[in-house]
Structure 1
Amino acid sequence: MNILILGGTQFVGRHIVEAFLKSGHAVTVLTRGKSKDELPEQVERLQGDRNEGAVGLEALNGRQWDACVDVSGYTPQQVRASAEGLRDRVSRYVFISTVSAYAEPERHPVREDDPLSTPAAEDVTEVSGDTYGPLKVTCEHIIQQVYGEQSTVLRPQIVAGPFDHTARYPYWVDRAARGGTVLAPGDGSDFLQVIDARDMARFTVKVVEDGIAGIFNLAGPRISWADFMELLGVSEPRWVDGKTLEANGLGARELPVYLPEHSEQGGLMDVDNSRAIAAGLTLTDPAVTARDTREWSKDADLNYALTPEREAGILASLGG
């Protein structure tokens, strides 16, 4: 098959490109050409910018593909341009959305039929913490309107694995590798649930190959933070309760991917993946995800909000 990927040089897109190549498909990527490109040579590279509307997609003119995978659509303006521009030139449009699209993230578990956030207006172009989910909802609606049963929407939760420059999940594998007492959020009973980017990529290939329509949550195994610390090899976790974390200015930036079980977003660590599993999603062991992420991140020179010095100071103040 001939596959067009909008985006493709970074993290999730890179894994999707490699998965299609591994399955024997030809891949074309459309990017703005602003990110580092380490994709295999056999990938066809086109340049364009959907923010410019139809003009920014001129590189696609006169071409046909079996499917389009939209990794980089964040605003309705971008997605409207590509969806309508490719309407008669691709047989399936796969849109990478997010579990942040759900209106009630405190639900347990979060399922595909749960209420979505109020859609953002199509002229909204600023992507922020407040607009990210509503913008993706609007983008989903555009794809479904234009493609109907030829559309597939994937809603991943936090994505983990090699090439993850977001510096969220990698914080924990890198921190564990330093050893010593680790400042750990909560009491160990909260849950962590991520999706390995490679599992997501393989499922993307499957929905294209098998022509699978619909909406799918993509979530990996759900494990306790106590088990997460253990699989990372942390022998000395120093559990710190929520009030103490807040008093020390420790939030989502300093302690990424941590969501307390009973918080307003706690359901995002309890995402139901049964529909995707039934459709063929396979999951990597969390220990393998951690190992492979660390193998990559040890040379990635990532920067983290919680420095070793600040962590040590807080631990000392707590008597840890």
Structure 2
Amino acid sequence: MRTTRRDLLKFGTLAAAAVALPAIGMPETAAAPVGKAAKPLDILILGGTGFTGPFQVAYALARGHRVTLFNRGKRPSPEWPGEVEQLHGDRNTGDLASLKGRKWDVCIDNPTSLPFWVRDAGKVLKGNVGHYLFISTISVYADGARPGIDETAPLAPYKGKDAMAETQQSLMADIEGLYGPLKALSEAEVRKHFGERSTIVRPGYIVGPRDESDRFSYWPLRVEQGGEMLVPGDGLDPIQIIDGRDLGEWMIRLAEAKAYGTFNAVGPDYPLLMDAMLHGCQAVTGKGVRMVHVSPQFLDEHKVDTPIWVPREGNPFSGYGSVSNARAITAGLTFRPLATTVADLLAWFHGLPAERQAKPRAGIPREQEAELLALWKKRGA
């Protein structure tokens, strides 16, 4: 089944309701030492306990910054490698009282998918933060089928009645029609309140340790099992991913550099094709895999979910595998090797409770995969 907007976006939208994640202390392959920043900053992070937030916090502390988190306090905070101030409130209800009368050098807005969240934060923080960084998405673009999308491409229009009246419930009920346009309007609210002192970061698939969606994780985990493996398409479709640590740490460096503007945060810094990604996973796991390429038409016919893969032709989101990241790379975005991401992801996943490992949240169950491969072979393909 070819990727739909729902497949691309549902995990990001549901992040606010996700289960608590393990602590950030995890093995990392060849972690480089982190030097201190030239000037310590007071950084406010809205969210901070989800996927990328803990990486931002850990890196900011390592760089010598002072960190304050604002969230609902519904998730247990990880064991931070330093002192972190915690403020509580609820952006759904407009409860931002704990932010009033405070000043920070930088605010990083991680979880927002609704424009009124930015509007309300702007009313409280305008004039009290020097720099506002907002995590958006490449799904803001109106034409997701065009290869080479850059930051100047037209954005998806909102076609509802009142964007400021949209809620998490309405968003999840109509995610395919609302997610991108509401993110685009959230970006507009950022610029309205913070003007030129704002930074918009548009990631695609965020992967690596702490990724509870299992979208990318399915592939290294499946390669690790070895044997005959169903692979969508001809292996030449482009894939773009970014390690959550690369994204989180770069956000801190953007804050340090006062790098304003809009950036597509996708990776890597070279063309990565589906088969090359799988061979990279195989090199890490050392397992023997025989890849069986199956046509997009066959997958459509059998309604097969193949996460993060999008065929390079004939799909409204084909361009999401080849978005331009030139501006972000110029602004200092760097990428860990694929092997590092895969090795650390596998180490993290195998440290999860057994019942969690037994129930992956994306991909093809092995029984279904075997049935599909048998059907494909009967066609004489």
Shorter-chain TM range is over 0.9
Q: Any residues of structure 2 matched to 1:230-309 within 5 Å, and which?
A: 230-233=279-282, 235-250=289-304, 254-262=305-313, 263-300=315-352, 301-302=356-357, 303-305=360-362, 306-309=364-367
Corresponding position: 1:92 with 2:141: no
Q: Aligned partners of 2:255, 2:349: CA distance in 1, in Å?
A: 30
Corresponding position: 1:225 with 2:274: yes
CA contact (8 A) 2:220 2:278 kept: no
Q: How far did residue 115 of structure 1 move?
A: 0.6
> The residue matched to 1:259 in structure 2 has which SS?
coil
* Aligned counterpart, 2:7: none
Q: How far did residue 173 of structure 1 move?
A: 1.4
Aligned partner letter, 1:318: W
CA contact (8 A) 1:122 1:138 kept: no
Moved more, 108-117 or 123-132: 123-132
- TM-superposition CA deviations, 1:219-274 (whole Å, max 9, x none): 11231111111111163111111111112220xxx311011111221111101111
Q: Aligned partners of 1:308, 1:37: CA distance in 2, in Å?
A: 35
- TM-superposition CA deviations, 1:27-85 (whole Å, max 9, x none): 111111222422416222211111111xx111112221111000011101111111221
CA contact (8 A) 1:185 1:241 kept: yes
Correspondent of 1:20 among 36, 52, 60 = 60
Correspondent of 2:229 among 182, 197, 211 = 182
Corresponding position: 1:142 with 2:142: no
Q: Aligned partners of 2:77, 2:226: CA distance in 1, in Å?
A: 33
* Aligned counterpart, 2:10: none
* Aligned counterpart, 1:47: 88
Aligned partner letter, 1:296: W
- TM-superposition CA deviations, 1:147-178 (whole Å, max 9, x none): 11111000011111110012211111111111
Q: Aligned partners of 2:336, 2:204: CA distance in 1, in Å?
A: 15
Moved more, 38-47 or 65-74: 38-47
Corresponding position: 1:11 with 2:51: yes
Percent pairwise identity: 37
Q: How far did residue 318 of structure 1 move?
A: 2.5
Q: Aligned partners of 1:84, 1:212: CA distance in 2, in Å?
A: 23
CA contact (8 A) 2:71 2:87 kept: yes
* TM-score when normalising by structure 1: 0.94
Moved more, 35-44 or 232-241: 35-44
Q: Aligned partners of 1:273, 1:244: CA distance in 2, in Å?
A: 32
- The number of residues matched between the two structures is 315
Moved more, 91-100 or 26-35: 26-35
Q: Aligned partners of 1:74, 1:227: CA distance in 2, in Å?
A: 33
CA 36–87 in structure 1, closer or farther in 2 if over 3 Å, else same: same
- TM-superposition CA deviations, 1:169-209 (whole Å, max 9, x none): 11111111111111111010111111111111122111111
Q: How far did residue 316 of structure 1 move?
A: 2.6
Corresponding position: 1:115 with 2:154: yes
CA 113–122 in structure 1, closer or farther in 2 if over 3 Å, else same: same
> The residue matched to 1:319 in structure 2 has which SS?
helix
* TM-score when normalising by structure 2: 0.79
Q: Aligned partners of 2:246, 2:180: CA distance in 1, in Å?
A: 23
Moved more, 79-88 or 121-130: 121-130
Q: How far did residue 111 of structure 1 move?
A: 0.2
Moved more, 126-135 or 294-303: 294-303
Q: Which runs of 5+ in 2 are unaligned?
A: 1-40, 283-287
CA RMSD of aligned residues (A): 1.5
Aligned partner letter, 1:310: Q
Corresponding position: 1:192 with 2:239: yes
CA 66–52 in structure 1, closer or farther in 2 if over 3 Å, else same: same
Q: Aligned partners of 1:282, 1:209: CA distance in 2, in Å?
A: 16
